[in-house]
């Protein structure tokens, strides 16, 4: 009876059947006006009432996991025996959800909507929900979307002060500054200011909704609702930026979703759950997951189907990118052979979608280095072979970025040819190949930018701790009685004798000599 008592504040017995039918006929796409007196009483409901009902359903969901279907059947039996219409309950919950979607929704409306969405997801996760006609794909997607829709887009910038007064007195004011276009757009989109306490309330309600979604994904298969699976993936990707993660990121599956401390950690766990076989073909799930994580790693915005655009780099963006890389490595370790083909595709897309800005290239190259460390020597050699082709691509940025990637790979321990299972790929493992066939080949690139960058990096190779890398550079410039690799492409005005002088100096000072002897190479 505790559950029935907790439901009383929704006044389900007073809701007209015609209104309920109309809401279902509209498929939860728009608000349907309710009798004014009833609607006012519903909107006056406080957060405590929703929280009490939520905890009642959480207990039933937990019992269901421990005792098979007995507890879950009991929920529907209790509701039926007490004359509670499931159809009416879902319709009333949808009313709160649709009100909370509005850009001008108040704090209370947003919190009530978030809890209502959580209640719907909890009901949906109890076995028997399909038979009792709780499921509706549109309402499911709307409830999931509420995690992002209810959170103010500019919560960190635009905030109402606690106890803010409407007037500042008669003191002389400075002339207001003209608003930037982006500011004006924000004001038009969301005309409600929120205090710090209000933001905390909304954040906590968002966390409850995300936890409810995780509980749903643990039990309710999305195999037949692939659009919902895609929508959940998109939402979890957005939630990675919701707030900073304090301390170390936790990627291990929790005993209870309530143990997850931050919303980004919940989002990563949600992405992991979506790769479970119960939600569809794992290969398709991994492909979808890595596709979305690509833009997190690239630090680009690809929302609303627009062309990817670089984000403004800050600590939050960089931290989220690092966590995404850590998560990909975690997935590869767990899924192993199943995930490796998609890791190769992910690496190729990082290289092909990289922008020219130096800071993005530097971070991207580091990402490639971390991800290739998860590869076997055979897969690594296959990637280096592909990178060799990329280094000769038509677009200048591809050739430029390949140089950055080579420098990161040269800092990793050299892999032994014995570890490669494909004899045809063993030649791509030594550092010598990276230096002589990828890096040194760019010295005659059609772009002066690529030329300069390649030659600057070539000089830096002399400072690498790898003796093989140093020896590879040494061999490029060593003087022998036979023609060398340089003979056919010596710059005009220089000769092999100038290069041969480098052999007589220590490796630690080669970089300086290289610039002194061939000044035209360094610009």
Q: Tell me the pLDDT tens digit for each residue of 156-196.
A: 544 454 444 444 444 444 444 444 444 434 444 455 688 99
Tell me, yes or no, whether 389 lies in a domain.
Answer: no
| Mean pLDDT, the chain, whole residue set | 84
User: In terms of domains, do 245 and 266 share one?
Assistant: yes
Over 70: is that where the pLDDT of 139 sits? yes
**227 within some domain:** yes
User: Is 435 a member of any domain?
Assistant: no
Domain assignment present for 233: yes
Q: Residue 154's pLDDT band (boundaries 50, 70, 90)?
A: low
Q: Which helix (H) or strand (E) holds 380?
A: helix 377-390
Model confidence pLDDT, tens digit, residues 73-110: 578 888 999 999 999 999 999 999 999 999 899 999 99
- Residues 129, 17 share a domain: yes
Check residue 478 and give its pLDDT. 67
Q: Do both 216 and 251 map to the same domain?
A: no
CB 152 within 8 A of CB 85: no
The two three-digit tokens of residue 38, written as one number:
């009833």
Do both 206 and 254 map to the same domain?
Answer: no
Structure tokens at 17: 């059947």
Phi, psi dihedral angles at 159 (to 5 degrees): -145, 140
418 vs 481, higher pLDDT: 418
Instruction: Determine the pLDDT at residue 470.
Output: 81
According to the model, what pLDDT value does residue 155 have?
58
Residue 286 and residue 358 share a domain = yes
More confident of the two residues 467 and 516: 467
| The pLDDT value given to residue 78 | 87
Does 206 share its domain with 250?
A: no
Query: Residue 187 has what pLDDT?
Result: 40
What pLDDT score does 243 carry? 95
| Phi, psi at 349, each rounded to 5° | -70, -35
Binning pLDDT at 50, 70 and 90, where does residue 67 land? low
- Select the more confidently predicted residue: 174 or 448: 448
Rg, C-alpha atoms of the chain: 30
Domain count, the chain: 2
Three-class DSSP category at 309 = strand
Confidence of residue 68 (pLDDT cuts 50, 70, 90): low
> Are 110 and 243 in a shared domain?
no
Written as six digits, the tokens of 435 are: 């230096």
Is residue 411 scored above 80 in pLDDT? yes
CB 198, CB 164: distance < 8 Å? no
Average pLDDT estimate for 465-491: 62
Please give the model's pTM, rounded to 2 decimal places.
Answer: 0.85
The domain of 8 spans: 1-153+195-220
Same domain for 231 and 90: no
Instruction: List the single range of 22-36, 152-166, 355-369 with lowest mean pLDDT.
Output: 152-166
Cα distance between residue 89 and residue 87, in whole Å: 6
Q: Determine the number of helices (DSSP H) and then strands (DSSP E) in the chain.
A: 23, 2
pLDDT over 70, % of the chain: 81
Of the pLDDT bands very low, low, confident and very high (cuts 50, 70, 90), residue 64 is: low
Q: Does the structure show a pLDDT above 80 at 422?
A: yes
Are residues 229 and 210 located together in one domain of the fold?
no
Q: How many residues does the chain have?
A: 523
pLDDT per residue over 229-282, tens digit each? 999 999 999 999 999 998 888 898 888 898 998 999 999 999 999 999 999 999
In a domain, 407, yes or no: no
Q: Integer distance in angstroms from the first to the last C-alpha of the chain? A: 80
Last residue of a domain, one of 356, 374, 392: 374
Do 209 and 234 share a domain, yes or no? no
Task: Specify the pLDDT at position 507.
Answer: 39
Last residue of a domain, one of 322, 345, 374: 374
Q: Is residue 180 part of a domain?
A: no
In a domain? residue 57: yes
- Is the separation of the CB atoms in 108 and 195 below 8 Å? no
pLDDT tens profile 269-328? 999 999 999 999 999 999 999 999 999 999 999 876 678 899 999 999 999 999 999 999
pLDDT of residue 493: 46
Residue 7 is assigned to a structural domain of this protein = yes
Minimum mean pLDDT range among 58-62, 75-79, 147-151: 58-62
Stretch 219-236: mean pLDDT: 91
With a cut of 50, say whether residue 355 has pLDDT above it: yes
Of 347, 374, 401, which residue sits at a domain end? 374
Does residue 132 share a domain with residue 251? no
Residues 98 and 2 in one domain: yes
Is the pLDDT assigned to residue 384 strictly greater than 80? yes
* Angle (CA) 403 404 405, round 5°: 90
């Amino acid at each position: 009876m505790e559950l029935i008592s907790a439901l009383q504040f929704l006044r389900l017995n007073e809701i007209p059947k015609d209104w309920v039918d109309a809401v279902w006929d509209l498929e939860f796409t728009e608000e349907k006006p309710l009798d004014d007196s009833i609607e006012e009483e519903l909107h006056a409901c406080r957060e405590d009432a929703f929280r009490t009902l939520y905890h009642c359903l959480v207990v039933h969901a937990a019992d269901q996991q421990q005792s098979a279907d007995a507890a879950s059947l009991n929920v529907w039996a209790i509701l039926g025996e007490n004359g509670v219409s499931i159809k009416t309950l879902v319709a009333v919950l949808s009313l709160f959800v649709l009100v909370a979607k509005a850009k001008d929704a108040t704090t209370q409306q947003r919190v009530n909507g978030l809890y209502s969405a959580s209640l719907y997801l909890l009901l949906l996760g109890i076995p028997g929900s399909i038979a009792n006609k709780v499921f509706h794909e549109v309402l499911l997607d709307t409830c999931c979307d509420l995690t992002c829709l209810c959170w103010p887009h500019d919560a960190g910038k635009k905030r109402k002060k606690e106890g803010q007064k409407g007037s500042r007195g008669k003191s002389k004011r400075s002339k207001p500054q003209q608003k930037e276009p982006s500011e004006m757009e924000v004001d038009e989109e969301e005309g409600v200011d929120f205090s710090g306490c209000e933001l905390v309330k909304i954040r906590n309600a968002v966390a409850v909704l995300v936890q409810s979604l995780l509980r749903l994904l643990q039990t309710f298969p999305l195999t037949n609702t692939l659009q919902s699976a895609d929508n959940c993936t998109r939402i979890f990707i957005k939630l990675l930026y919701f707030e900073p993660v304090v301390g170390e990121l936790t990627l291990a599956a929790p005993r209870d979703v309530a143990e997850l401390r931050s919303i980004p950690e919940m989002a990563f766990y949600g992405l992991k759950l979506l790769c479970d076989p119960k939600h569809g073909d794992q290969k398709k799930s991994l492909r979808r997951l890595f596709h979305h994580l690509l833009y997190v790693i690239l630090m680009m915005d690809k929302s609303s189907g627009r062309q990817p655009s670089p984000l403004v780099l800050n600590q939050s963006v960089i931290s989220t990118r690092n966590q995404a890389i850590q998560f990909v490595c975690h997935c590869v370790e767990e899924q192993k052979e199943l995930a490796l083909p998609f890791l190769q595709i992910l690496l190729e897309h990082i290289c092909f979608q990289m922008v020219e800005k130096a800071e993005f290239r530097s971070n991207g190259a580091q990402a490639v280095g971390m991800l290739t460390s998860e590869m076997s020597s055979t897969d690594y050699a296959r990637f280096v072979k592909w990178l060799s082709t990329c280094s000769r691509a038509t677009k200048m940025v591809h050739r430029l970025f390949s140089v950055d990637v080579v420098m990161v790979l040269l800092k990793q321990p050299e892999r032994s040819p014995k570890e490669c299972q494909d004899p045809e790929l063993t030649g791509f493992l030594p550092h010598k190949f990276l230096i002589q066939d990828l890096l040194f080949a760019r010295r005659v690139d059609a772009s002066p930018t690529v030329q300069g960058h390649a030659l600057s990096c070539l000089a830096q190779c002399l400072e690498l701790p790898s003796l093989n890398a140093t020896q590879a550079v040494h061999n490029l410039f060593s003087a022998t009685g036979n023609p060398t690799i340089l003979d056919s492409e010596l710059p005009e005005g220089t000769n092999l004798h100038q290069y041969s002088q480098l052999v007589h100096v220590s490796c630690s000072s080669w970089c300086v000599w290289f610039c002194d002897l061939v000044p035209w190479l360094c610009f």
